[in-house]
Amino acid sequence: MMQPESRAADSAAADTQGTIGDLDLMGRASAALNQQCRAAHDELTQTQKLLSDATRRLLDCFHDVQRELIAAGATQPEPVARSLLAATQHMQFSDLVGQLLATTEQRVDALTQMSQRLQSLVESMSVLRNSPGVQSAALAGQRRAFLEALATLESCGNSRVRQSDMQAGEVDLF
């Protein structure tokens, strides 16, 4: 029959192992989240660059075609000019997409910061667990930084872009 002290020691050891396992798991999850956030940030930046470049090139082509039509003395430049103007105006939707990408990038940046703070907090908790004599002020500082990152993440509002299709509509000025 097991002694009560022995059961309590076994229970405490199991709790400690569970806590250490949980800290390791949280650390792994935080590292994976951080890696994916960084990858998403890089992809958003690349998307913005590609969209901007494509939009600029298309707009330049529209202007070139319009100039060439006028120089060639097109017999009916008005319908073509109207079509080119409409195409140019539709290029403004790339600005809306750019705004959506920028908002998403801000969210990813906040997630990245949150992930980094979580990783630091887990590391501090692990150090405290392994070295109880270490000052807990470091842990308090990491906890505070984590809570600030959480507040930043929670403050990421909704996108200001309300348009969901390419049809003409109202414009939200902000």
Question: What does the chain come to in residues?
Answer: 174
Q: Distance between CA atoms of 19 and 125, rounded to whole angstroms?
A: 10
Predicted pLDDT at 74? 66
Q: Has residue 129 been placed in a domain? A: yes
Predicted pLDDT at 174? 45
Query: pLDDT below 50 — which residues of the chain?
Result: 8-9, 11-16, 171, 173-174
Q: Has residue 162 been placed in a domain? A: no
Q: Distance between CA atoms of 34 and 101, rounded to whole angstroms?
A: 19
Tally the domains of the chain.
Answer: 1
Residues of 39-76 as b/e, b for ≥16 C-beta within 10 angstroms?
ebbeebeeebeeeeeebeeeeeebeeebeeeeeeeeee
Tally of CA atoms within 13 A in the half-sphere of 166 that contains its CB = 9
Predicted pLDDT at 4? 52
Q: Has residue 4 been placed in a domain? A: no
Q: Has residue 160 been placed in a domain? A: no
Predicted pLDDT at 13? 47
Predicted pLDDT at 34? 83
Q: Has residue 168 been placed in a domain? A: no
Predicted model pTM = 0.60
- Give the model confidence (pLDDT) of 37-58 as tens digits: 888 888 888 888 888 888 888 8
Q: Has residue 77 been placed in a domain? A: yes
- Packed helices 93-130 and 4-72: angle between N→C axes, nearest 10 degrees: 160
Residue 81 lies in domain: 11-155
Q: Has residue 165 been placed in a domain? A: no
